[in-house]
Structure 1
Amino acid sequence: MQTRKVGRTVNRTVCERCPLRTKEVFRSFKKPELEYVSDFKKGEFSADRGATILLEGGQSAHLYTVLSGWVFRYKILDDGRRQILNYALPGDLIGLQGSLLDKMHHSIEALTSVNLCVFERDNLMSLFRGHPGLGFDVTWLAAREERILDEHLISIGRRTALERAAYLLAHLYLRAKAVDLISDKQNEIPITQQHVADTLGLSIVHTNKTLRKLAQRGLIHWKERGCEIKDINGLLKIASWDGIITAKRPII
């Protein structure tokens, strides 16, 4: 599968006026923490939809926090088949694996146009040494990623195709809603049926049939470049999933 890397530096958002800090889902910073993160941040990076941000096997001097937009993590098999591992939304930390293991074991692509806060990986240890609270936040974010992957593994291993699709769409909808990417006026998840297929481990034909069943029940409405969620409770019921526990979460 051909990848393309398209990115550019953009004007820096002042951490004190970061738009994510006003969102209810994120915990507030203590003043010394905010000052440190402002110094730790080295700039911002903007990428277009479809751009490769990090490539499997490569090395990166940076890690990133998603400031706006959607990205996804994936691996490519030798024969070109793609497995999407997870999606990252505003407030999520990406590139940590490359910071700890020297090289990436997955790739990251922009699902929409994105803006990313850039941090130098060589300074990560100073965060743990000087600000244990922020160090715990990084650990919390890594643990959250593991919890999400556990649920995805259960979905692929034990849920039916219909249950898998319902879980994935509900999962993305609730995560997007928590960071105000979903509202009464905008409740569309910006994924294609190919993204769904590559996430669920299904063929595109099987995926299309499965999503059509959800649409026939009035739960979703599929559009050219996204999926409109019509009945989140109906999706949760089919997936036999209680949803995301809402609690204050950290942000770097």
Structure 2
Amino acid sequence: MNSPTVSCFDCPLRCNPLFEVPSEDELRYMSSFKLGELTVEPGRTVLMEGAASAQFYTVLEGMGLRQKTFPSGQRQVISFVMPGDLVGLQAAVMGEMRHSVEATTRMSLCVFDRNGLWDLLRNQPKRAYSVTWLAAVEEVFLGETLATIGQLDATQRIAWALVRLHDRLAMLDDPEGALLANGGPVALPYRQQDLADALGLSLVHTNKTLARLKAGGLADWSGGQLRLPGRRQLASLAMIDDEMPRRPLL
């Protein structure tokens, strides 16, 4: 683990309107709560399923995957991890991870001691609410994912995933909203297999559906970038509510 290199007062994420603005007192507290930073190279495991962890993390830079692997070798991608996400809270509360977190790109993470979580919950009610909010929004996302997999066809599932991924990345990359308004481009370094594993589809079906969306001028995911010229049509197809609330940041 590296010593802190980015002060909480200078955190680049706090300048982004996607996130709530903390008070000076909250920033001072988080500066003392933060142990340091961890750098994880692409393809390496951040947190292992079944393992206990003395730390949990906020993603400062980079992207990853939450995933669960079954004895058969099959994999379920649970969610895509992006800057601002909290990872490892499960082990901090339940004692061990029930899924793994893997780095897709080089990741930088702010490190927190899980033993300090109880002090935060006791003495920092707004920060405690932030932890609760982040856990709740993850539950909402997983519920939406399950409903999408269970009730929508392949084209609708992929439309839903592309819009959700694009919107989050667009807000991170361009706080002014131009990327969100015009549909791209944003960096999307995942594989089609990752998307297929997240949506319960075969790679062949995913590839053909993406090709149809590209041919129809609705979506183009190529060269590690995602463009959504037909974002509005895709959102309507997937029955997405466009509202994106501001997120707390730990």
TM-score by length of 1: 0.91
Give structure 2 stretches of 5+ with no counterpart.
none
**Amino acid of the structure 2 residue aligned with 1:249:** R
Alignment match, 1:220:
219
2:47 alignment partner, one of 41, 50, 54: 54
Instruction: Tell me, yes or no, if the aligned pair for 1:20 and 1:26 is still in contact at 8 Å.
Output: yes
Q: 1:226 to 1:179 in 2, by over 3 A?
A: closer
- Give 1:46 shift: 1.0
Alignment match, 1:250:
248
Which residues of 2 match residues 94-109 of structure 1 at below 5 A? 94-109=87-102
Distance in 1 (alpha carbons) for counterparts of 2:83 and 2:131: 15
- Give 1:234 shift: 2.3
Distance in 2 (alpha carbons) for counterparts of 1:95 and 1:42: 15
Alignment match, 1:236:
235
Distance in 1 (alpha carbons) for counterparts of 2:20 and 2:107: 22
Is 1:43 aligned with 2:42? no
Give structure 1 stretches of 5+ with no counterpart.
1-7
TM-score by length of 2: 0.92
Distance in 1 (alpha carbons) for counterparts of 2:165 and 2:225: 12
Instruction: Tell me, yes or no, if the aligned pair for 1:74 and 1:108 is still in contact at 8 Å.
Output: yes
1:65-114 Cα shifts (integer Å, max 9, x gaps): 01011111010011111100111211111110010011100000112211
**Amino acid of the structure 2 residue aligned with 1:247:** P
Instruction: Tell me, yes or no, if the aligned pair for 2:185 and 2:226 is still in contact at 8 Å.
Output: no
Alignment match, 1:164:
157
Distance in 2 (alpha carbons) for counterparts of 1:247 and 1:221: 26
Distance in 2 (alpha carbons) for counterparts of 1:202 and 1:10: 42
Q: 1:22 to 1:224 in 2, by over 3 A?
A: closer
3-state DSSP of counterpart to 1:63: strand
**Amino acid of the structure 2 residue aligned with 1:116:** L
Percent identity among equivalent residues?
A: 40
Instruction: Tell me, yes or no, if the aligned pair for 1:191 and 1:226 is still in contact at 8 Å.
Output: no
- Give 1:11 shift: 5.2
Alignment match, 1:144:
137
Alignment match, 2:65:
72
Distance in 2 (alpha carbons) for counterparts of 1:141 and 1:11: 23
Distance in 2 (alpha carbons) for counterparts of 1:79 and 1:227: 32
Instruction: Tell me, yes or no, if the aligned pair for 2:50 and 2:98 is still in contact at 8 Å.
Output: yes
Distance in 2 (alpha carbons) for counterparts of 1:192 and 1:68: 19
Distance in 1 (alpha carbons) for counterparts of 2:84 and 2:239: 27
